[in-house]
A and B are shown apart, each in its own frame.
Chain A
Amino acid sequence: MDERPISLPLKLLALTMFVFLLAPLLVVLPISFSGDNYMIFPPTSWSTRWYGAIFTDAKMTSAFSSSLALASVVTLLSLAIGLPAAYALVRLKPPGAAALSSFFTAPLLLPTIVLGLAILIVFSVYGLLGTFQGLIAAHLVVTLPYAIRVLSTALSTLPITFEEAAASLGASPMTVFRRVTLPMMRSGIIGTTALCFLVSFDEVVLSLFLTGPRLTTLPVAMFHRVEQQADPMVASLSVLLVALTLAVVLIVDRTSGLARTFVK
């Protein structure tokens, strides 16, 4: 682009809007260090007590470990299901591959409130409400489209000649996949892992429909806490969550370049 100075009015307007855009995230940080018992902004005193409170709150800690376990399992399953599917669609090119690909991405078109209700009704028949398996299944519905997209992109940008070369040297299809295809898809796999993990970890509406008294996830626990007794603990939790997200994003960027993973 030509180096054109941007007009001052536009600059001011844009930056004002930027502040508006980032306002909630900026506000959450200071209030997480509030020493007050209730939510007051600006806080009257400062302390890290609310961070500490997280770890002593049994409900929160169990919700956190549930979310962690759930996101991990969902991520692993997304890879285990998504990789073969992407391979089939991109390398084996069956008739109607494009239509199938669209079909597998379709769940993202549905608002989670509608999907959540739909799954709730069906799962209630099979006794999957409030179960870990039920949550896994529901999360998979929304993480698999992402997995398929990113993995398909990674695979389709990988020239097939490397796999052909390996085959010509005597590698069976399984060996080719293991020794050549997978290593060369590394950045796509890392990107998929990060994306699926974050999507599952942050997923709240679906989880709202499917959690129960004995099983809850962190976003749901936070939701209820905000609904019932909004206090600085939610802020501390939020800061931790944002830090977690940042960490994941940085790892992905370090290992494979963020833009390259998600943009074709």
Chain B
Amino acid sequence: MTATPADGDDQPRRLPLVVVLLLPIALVNALGFVVPTLNLLRMSFFEAQGTGAMQEVFTLATWQKVFTDSFYAELILNSISTSFLITVLTLLCSYPIALYLHRSSGLWRSVLLVLVIAPLLTSAVVRTYGWIVILFENGLINNALAAVGIGRVRMIFNKTGVTIGLTEILMPYMILALMAGFGKLDARIEEAAASLGASPMRVFRHIVLPLTLPGIALGSLLCFVLAVSSFITPKLLGGGRVFLLATEIYDQAIVTLNWPVASSLSILILLIFGTALLLYTRALNAAT
């Protein structure tokens, strides 16, 4: 017997049961997600006093500070520009892998796919630590450079290190997003172009690239958003000397105990998210 369309008239009978079954998760969601997030918004309208105490009075002082203080302006700009750079680099590094995976098949493809996904299952701390080992003074690269005679380069506890590390860490996300968007890419289309006289470079520029734009857009959005809100890697690879939104939020919350500022910076991250999503949707609509 195939299932018939929803037996609507059962609803009044079953509703109590549905409520009981959904209650636990609704509670967790409400108390652990909705309430805290709304409270965050509320908190951004308070102001912390110098003593560390907090006045629960509605004020725009904190928001004013965030928007006018040059430190915060620089912080926000820094975060956005660094994330943007990271996104571009991640795209450039991930595209070849994604294309290669898309064109391969069988067991080899499955193995490679597992290798791409595997890093996602390990902790960010582990992966960041790996980068410290590679980048720091006595690490892989510098020791290699020293052995060859080139001097040591400072790649850690600065923006360079954070950029390199975060780029690699975000690659799996970009690769998967690209591959998802590669759906329309069919070998036959490329062959048709080649048969019409297009060189491989041209085929890439005029056929492959345009067709994979949706994947590129999606991956870029994902990467940008993850980069802007990334904490572990900037904190560890930056060594406390790189100031980005996420690290500042943590410092304000745990060290300075200025929760209103931390809250407003968090809301700011969410606003950046929203803007990025808006631009993405606009771009997508414009393309179709």
A–B contact at 8 Å CB threshold (below): yes
Q: A residues within 8 Å of B by Cβ? A: 1-4, 6-7, 10-11, 13-18, 20-28, 31, 38-42, 80-82, 84-85, 87-89, 92-95, 100, 103-104, 106-107, 110-115, 117-122, 137-138, 140-141, 144, 148, 159-161, 164, 198, 202, 204-205, 208-209, 219, 222-223, 226-227, 230, 234-235, 238, 241-242, 245, 249
Q: Find chain B residues with CB under 8 A from A28 CB.
A: 126, 129-130, 133
| Residue from A20, A122, A223 within 8 A of B232 (CB atoms) | A223
In the assembled complex, the CB of B38 is this many whole angstroms from the nearest CB of chain A, namely 9
A-B contact pairs, 22 of them (CB 8 A): A14-B99, A18-B97, A22-B115, A23-B134, A41-B140, A111-B273, A113-B249, A114-B269, A115-B33, A118-B37, A119-B36, A121-B263, A138-B32, A198-B121, A209-B254, A222-B123, A226-B128, A235-B129, A238-B122, A238-B125, A241-B122, A241-B123
A residues less than 8 Å from B225 (CB atoms):
111
Tell me if B151 counts as interface (CB < 8 A to partner A): no
- Whether the pair B236, A226 counts as a contact (CB closer than 8 A) is yes
Tell me whether B132 and A226 are in contact (CB under 8 A): yes
Q: Are B129 and A88 in contact (CB under 8 A)?
A: no
With contacts A6-B103, A140-B32, A160-B3 known, is A92 near B143, CB below 8 A?
Answer: no
B133 contacts A103, C-beta separation under 8 Å = no
14 more CB-based (< 8 A) A-B contacts, given A28-B129, A118-B37? A2-B187, A17-B94, A17-B96, A20-B171, A94-B22, A111-B273, A112-B229, A114-B229, A122-B35, A161-B1, A226-B125, A238-B122, A238-B125, A245-B122
Q: By the criterion CB–CB under 8 Å, are B127 and A14 in contact?
A: no
The 10 closest A-B pairs by CB, nearest first: A24-B130, A111-B229, A14-B100, A118-B36, A88-B21, A141-B32, A84-B21, A13-B96, A238-B126, A202-B123
Q: From the candidates B99, B116, B133, B229, name the one contacting A24 in the complex (CB within 8 A).
A: B133
List, in ascending order, chain A residues with CB within 8 A of B165's CB: 24
Q: How far is the CA of A115 from the CA of B32 in the complex (A)?
A: 9
With A7-B200, A17-B97 given, is the CB distance from A81 to B263 under 8 Å? no
Is A94 a contact of B15 with CB atoms below 8 Å? yes
Docked CA distance A160–B253 (Å):
50
**B58 → A minimal CB distance (Å):** 16
- Given A41-B134, A234-B129, residue A204 in contact with residue B123 (CB < 8 A): yes
Whether A227 contacts B235 by the Cβ 8 Å rule is yes
Q: Are B105 and A1 closer than 8 Å at their CB atoms?
A: yes
Q: Inside 8 A of A227's CB, which chain B residues have their CB?
A: 235-236
Q: Which residue among B125, B131, B269 has the maximum number of chain A CB atoms within 10 Å of its CB?
A: B125
Give the number of A-B contacts (CB < 8 Å): 257
Q: A41-B143, A118-B40 are in contact. Are A110 and B254 (CB under 8 A)?
A: no
Report the Cα distance A112→B32, complex, angstroms.
12
CB contacts under 8 Å to A, within B90-123, are 93-94, 96-97, 99-101, 103-105, 112, 115-116, 118-119, 121-123
Query: Beta-carbon contacts of B1-42 to A below 8 Å, as 1s and 0s?
Result: 101001000010011011011101110110111011101100
Contact A6 B104 (CB under 8 A): yes
Given contacts A93-B6, A140-B28, contact A27 B140 (CB under 8 A): yes
Which listed residue, A42, A112, A148, touches B231 by the CB 8 Å rule? Answer: A112
Contact call B232/A17, Cβ cutoff below 8 A: no
Give the distance in Å from the alpha carbon of A112 to the alpha carbon of B231 in the complex: 9
Q: Is the CB of A113 within 8 A of B122?
A: no
Q: Which of A2, A80, A117, A226 neighbours the largest number of chain B CB atoms within 10 Å of its CB?
A: A117
- Across the interface, B121 reaches (CB within 8 A) one of A81, A205, A245, namely A245
User: In the complex, what's the smallest C-beta–C-beta distance from B68 to chain A, in angstroms?
Assistant: 22
User: Are A117 and B126 in contact, with the CB atoms below 8 A?
Assistant: no
Residues on A with beta carbons closer than 8 Å to the beta carbon of B101: 14
Chain A residue nearest in CB terms to B267: A114
Q: Are A110 and B249 in contact (CB under 8 A)?
A: no
Chain A residue numbers with a CB within 8 Å of B127 are 24-25
Are B22 and A20 in contact, with the CB atoms below 8 A? no
Interface residues of B in 129-168 (CB under 8 A from A): 129-134, 136, 138-140, 143, 165, 168
In the complex, the answer to whether B94 meets A238 with C-beta atoms within 8 Å is no
Task: Let me know if B82 is at the binding interface, CB within 8 A.
Answer: no
Q: How far is the CB of A85 from chain B (nearest CB, A)?
A: 4
Q: With the chains together, A27 CA to B259 CA distance in Å?
A: 39
Contacts of B236 in A (CB 8 A): 223, 226-227
- Given known pairs A84-B24, A227-B236, the reply for A24 and B129 (CB within 8 Å) is yes
B21 CB → nearest A CB, Å:
4
**Known A110-B33, A121-B40, A234-B129: A81·B140 in contact at CB below 8 Å:** no
Q: Which chain B residue has the least Cβ–Cβ distance from A84?
A: B21
- The answer to whether B36 and A115 have CB atoms under 8 Å apart is yes
Chain B residues with Cβ below 8 Å from A106 are 29, 33
Q: Which residues of B contact A100 (CB under 8 A)?
A: 22
